[in-house]
């Protein structure tokens, strides 16, 4: 009888991109309090428990979403607010529909921008035409991740050229991977592609010890399949995860003034 040959499974990501994600997670852990503090990070989901506000429309609805995202990010004390971009003030109101909807809509946040006021309050702009609350959550989380990364003294792995992809990964690291992965099919302006975002989410779940069964119901159908493939592949790299679990924080030079994300009880 001819002996069967079992082919080695194809890696979910190529070695270079996978290694960059591990290195970037280590960079984020160093800048955000180390592995032990990371264990307090929740996986944010489109559920009423995480986003209980209902019945609001227009800017009130968007501002409520922003406050929830900021709280989940542990950045409630950071000086930032959300305002609609001037180009989108056309009486179009964001929907007050439930967040618990994993199917994409056709709206876009391409004209959303970020700026700072003279008194150092960060203004995060959003498109008032955006009808999908989940897309607004992804956008707000992404710009808060940008705010966070700007507080780091250490440059991201790969240098300044990989700063934008590092901000995408930081958004997943902060607990918003479900929103980032689901939004990728919408041609969202992320630098990481859908597969890379799903891999980053799988890395988060493995490191944070979150069950895939808790994540699956909130993912688009094809993303759900990718998550399981990525998680299976990451199971081969326990040595890399042990290194991440041993990461300690780097104290910033102005530790007395810098406030990194702090989860509220």
Would you mind telling me the total number of residues written for the chain in this entry?
265
Predicted local distance difference test score (pLDDT) of residue 192: 97
Predicted local distance difference test score (pLDDT) of residue 261: 65
Based on the number of CB atoms within 10 Å of its own CB, is 25 exposed (0-12), middle (13-18) or buried (19 or more)? buried
Under a CB-based contact definition with an 8 Å cutoff, are residues 74 and 262 in contact? yes
CA–CA dist 42, 27 (Å, integer): 19
**In sequence order, what are the beta bridge partners of 80?**
122
Residue with tokens 């995060």: 124
Predicted local distance difference test score (pLDDT) of residue 17: 97
Exposure b/e, 178-192, CB count within 10 A at least 16 = b: bbbbbbbebebebeb
Predicted local distance difference test score (pLDDT) of residue 115: 56
pLDDT digits (tens, 9 = 90+) for 113-166: 455 544 689 999 999 988 899 999 999 999 999 999 999 999 999 999 999 999
DSSP track, the chain: -PPP-PPPPPPSS-HHHHHHHHHHHHHHHHHTTHHHHHTT-----SSTTT----S--HHHHHHHHHHHHHHHTT-TTSSEEEEE-GGG-SS-------S---S--S---TT--EEE-TTS-EEEEE-TT---HHHHHHHHHHHHHHHHHHT-SSPPTT-GGGHHHHHHHHHIIIIIHHHHHHHGGGT-S-SS-HHHHHHHHHHHHHHHT--HHHHGGGS-HHHHHHHHHHHHHHTT-HHHHHHHHT--PPPPTTTTT--------
Which tokens in the block code for residue 261?
């994300």
Ranges in the chain, pLDDT < 70:
1-9, 87-119, 251-265
CA–CA dist 223, 121 (Å, integer): 36
Under a CB-based contact definition with an 8 Å cutoff, are residues 223 and 181 in contact? yes
pTM of the entire predicted model: 0.84
């Amino acid at each position: 009888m001819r002996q069967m040959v079992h082919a080695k499974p194809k890696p979910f990501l190529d070695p270079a991109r996978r290694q960059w994600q591990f290195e970037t997670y280590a960079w984020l852990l160093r800048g955000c309090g180390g592995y032990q503090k990371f264990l307090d990070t929740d996986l944010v989901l489109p559920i009423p428990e995480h986003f209980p506000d209902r019945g609001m429309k227009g800017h009130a609805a968007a501002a409520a979403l922003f406050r929830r995202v900021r709280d989940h990010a542990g950045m409630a004390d950071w000086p930032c607010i959300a305002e609609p971009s001037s180009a989108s003030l056309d009486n179009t109101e964001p929907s007050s529909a439930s967040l618990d909807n994993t199917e994409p809509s056709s709206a876009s946040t391409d004209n959303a921008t970020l700026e700072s006021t003279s008194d150092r309050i960060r203004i995060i702009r959003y498109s008032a035409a955006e009808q999908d609350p989940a897309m607004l959550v992804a956008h707000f989380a992404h710009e808060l991740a940008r705010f966070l990364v700007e507080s780091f003294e250490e440059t991201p792995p790969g240098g300044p050229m990989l700063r934008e992809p590092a901000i995408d990964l930081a958004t997943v690291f902060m607990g918003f991977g479900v929103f980032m992965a689901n939004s990728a099919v919408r041609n969202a302006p992320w630098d990481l592609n859908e597969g890379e975002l799903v891999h980053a989410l799988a890395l988060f779940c493995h490191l944070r010890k979150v069950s895939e069964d808790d994540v699956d119901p909130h993912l688009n159908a094809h993303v759900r399949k990718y998550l399981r493939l990525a998680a299976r592949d990451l199971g081969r790299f326990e040595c890399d995860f042990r290194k991440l679990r041993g990461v300690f924080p780097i104290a910033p030079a102005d530790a007395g003034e810098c406030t990194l994300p702090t989860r509220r009880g």
